[in-house]
Amino acid sequence: MDVLIIEDEGLLARRLQGLLEETDPRIQIAGITHSIKDTLTWLARHEEPDLLFMDIELADGPCFDIFEHADIRVPVIFTTAYDEYTLQAFKVNSVDYLLKPIKKEELKKAWEKFLAVHYQKGNTGFPEQIQQLLKSVRPVIKNRSRFLVKKGQKLIPVEVKDIAYFTIRNGVSFLHCRDKQKFTIDYTLDEVEEMLDTTDFFRANRQFILSHSIVLSAQPWFNSKLKIEISLPADEDIIVSRERAAAFKEWLGA
């Protein structure tokens, strides 16, 4: 069974590897990654392992950011130095975790749970669980006034009033400013939609959330859909579905 270890401290990664190999001779360490970037690269180049061991705090940010950019369908056992009481959400959502320093007995119990609940039944239910977990550890802020984005090595705030639209491409979300600047953001569009004032922004489809201020017109399209014209360039046509068309017209005229 293939296991990927995601741990930014090399000594701890090697120790965990040794403990796993002692726990069950069937375990094969498919790889060790040390950051969000390394992990995304590894996942893109390899077949999914059977299990991930994932440190919560990595060198370039919290491990939860990995789930924003990769479609992970396998179980995860989190490792962390956090206080146990901070992590009750993990237990509620049936996601295992191990407190550092990892003890061999606790590792064995977690591995046995994986075998009994996940591997043998072949059904993790994990994507829904991790979405609930993300919400519990990173609560949504309603009606945000700004978003924090990366620009080079800096973090800068972008005022919501300066945002033209949001998009998603290949699993990565982008914030587009009215001055044509573009930044990646660490949220899904579903999360972004919950953060915005619906009088100012509209979820046109799976790929676009639009600001009222940039919509120039809407014209009838095939099958009672709408094609939207905006004041800034977009990489693709913005089409509102037939089911959302009436709501869009109401929003545009409000």
Please give the domain boundaries of the chain with CATH numbers for all domains.
Answer: 2-137 (3.40.50.2300), 146-253 (2.40.50.1020)
Nearest to 148 by CA among 195, 213, 211: 195
Confidence of residue 205 (pLDDT cuts 50, 70, 90): very high
pLDDT beyond 50 at 117: yes
pLDDT beyond 80 at 121: no
- The reported pTM is 0.52
Bigger pLDDT: 94 or 18? 18
Burial of 232 (0-12, 13-18, 19+ CB in 10 A): middle
